[in-house]
Amino acid sequence: MNRIRTAVIGTGFMGRVHLEALRRVESVDVVEIAATSRDKAIAAAAGFNVLNATGDWREVINDPSIDAVHVATPNASHYEITKAALTAGKHVLCEKPLAMSVAEAQELTDLVASKNLRGGLNHNLRYYPMVQQMRSMREAGAFGEILVVQGTYSQDWMLYESDWNWRVDPKVSGPSRVMADIGSHFFDMAEHVSGLKVTEVCSDLQIFCPTRKQPKGGGESFSGKLGSAGETVDTKVVTEDFGATLFRMGKARGTMTASQVSAGRKNGLVMEIYGTKGGACWRQERPEELWLGHRDAPNQILLKDPSLLDEKARGFADYPGGHAEGYPDTFKQLFRRFYASIADPSLTADYPQMADGLRQMKILDAELASHKSRAWVSVPA
């Protein structure tokens, strides 16, 4: 079997998580790493035993021996890098959000289709085994007709005005911070699990820190909580620290909040669905458990154990019960499916794709428009 040659662009939080997960995917070799400087790329390449390193991602694109590219850079560069890689005939696995606007996301979605390439979008959180169990049970009708979808994605790493990250800068992150960064994961999961589409939204966004102390030297994601940033500049904040969205999924109704200022919540994604026959709740901070709610019987907590999962969910749990699988495993599951679809072009892609990234951009666009107009806004199909 031919091994697939891939490259990772970006060596921050996500770049390293992608590199680790790629080592767990059979038949794939990482052959090059690109960073913002050659020295940075060389340091990462040495650690991961990768032969080639470059300070210019265009060298990756121009190398015809590379089959696929992972885009793990800040949001503003996703469009340019992904477009260049697809144009050069490479498969792309891009981090979320896919682009900075619906128009850019549409262009990339059209391009990947016209080039007949694989275009994955890293909404990896779908691939916790117990999220797949919740989905499988819903498909089997265990919850009946879905009435309510609700939850939150709450974090605390931007609570203080001294907390800074490139995500605060709209030129790098886009017109939304919290809703784009983590609200998009919520809605991707909500649609994936419920099988319903968000049709309308009513959103309220809030900035609690009107200025933040921007370090003169920059800094990678989540590094701010570990130490002082040195010299800083007071910088005006224009994107939300918190957002709340009421939403409709046809007849079903939902609510969600997304926050980077909720003290104590580290990565608190909570997904609840309630139907005419029962409900379910999954919490990312306790990923091995799925709460099952019943009206007329005691509630249950199902602990991940492949032998007890539905057949459809079982393929997302590689370890036996009691052997925890978590965040890094979701990347392995997604990447494995992405590369299987490259190895066998006849396979139907069963992972989030650029079209899913476009979908999230449309929901985000509607949320921003709703907040501005203080009214309900339809989400185009």
Which residues of this protein are in contact with ligand NAD, per CB under 6 A? 9-15, 34-36, 57, 72-75, 77, 95-96, 122, 124, 166, 181, 220-221
Q: Please say which residue, 67 or 169, places its beta carbon nearer to ligand NAD.
A: 169
Burial 162-178 (b: 16+ CB within 10 A, else e): bbbbbbbbbeebbebbb
Edge-to-edge strand list for the sheet holding 289-293: 300-303, 289-293, 279-283, 268-275, 146-154, 252-259, 242-249, 200-206, 377-378
Would you say 57 or 128 has its CB closer to ligand NAD?
Answer: 57
Please answer whether residues 152 and 281 qualify as being in contact, where contact means their C-beta atoms are separated by less than 8 angstroms. no
Quote the least distance from Cβ 218 to ligand NAD, whole Å: 8
Closer by beta carbon to ligand NAD, 54 or else 279: 54
Distance CA 22, CA 60 (A): 17
Residue 36 CB, nearest approach to ligand NAD (Å): 4
Closest CB to ligand NAD among residues 69, 137: 69
Shortest reach from residue 248's CB to ligand NAD, in Å? 27
CB of 221 to ligand NAD, least distance (A): 3
Q: DSSP readout, 161-194?
A: TT---GGG-HHHH-S-SHIIIIIHHHHHHHHHHH
| Nearer of residues 232 and 378 to ligand NAD, judged by Cβ | 232
Nearer to ligand NAD, 209 or 334 (CB): 334
167: tokens are 């995500």
Q: How far is the CB of 252 from ligand NAD (least distance, A)?
A: 26
Cβ nearer to ligand NAD, comparing 185 with 304: 185
Which helix (H) or strand (E) covers residue 357, if one does? helix 354-373
Q: What radius of gyration do the chain's Cα atoms show?
A: 21
Give 296's DSSP letter: S
From the CB of 329, what's the least distance to ligand NAD, in Å?
Answer: 12
Shortest distance, position 217 Cβ to ligand NAD, whole Å: 12
Q: How does strand 242-249 pair with strand 232-236?
A: unpaired
Dist CA 103 CA 205 (whole Å) = 23
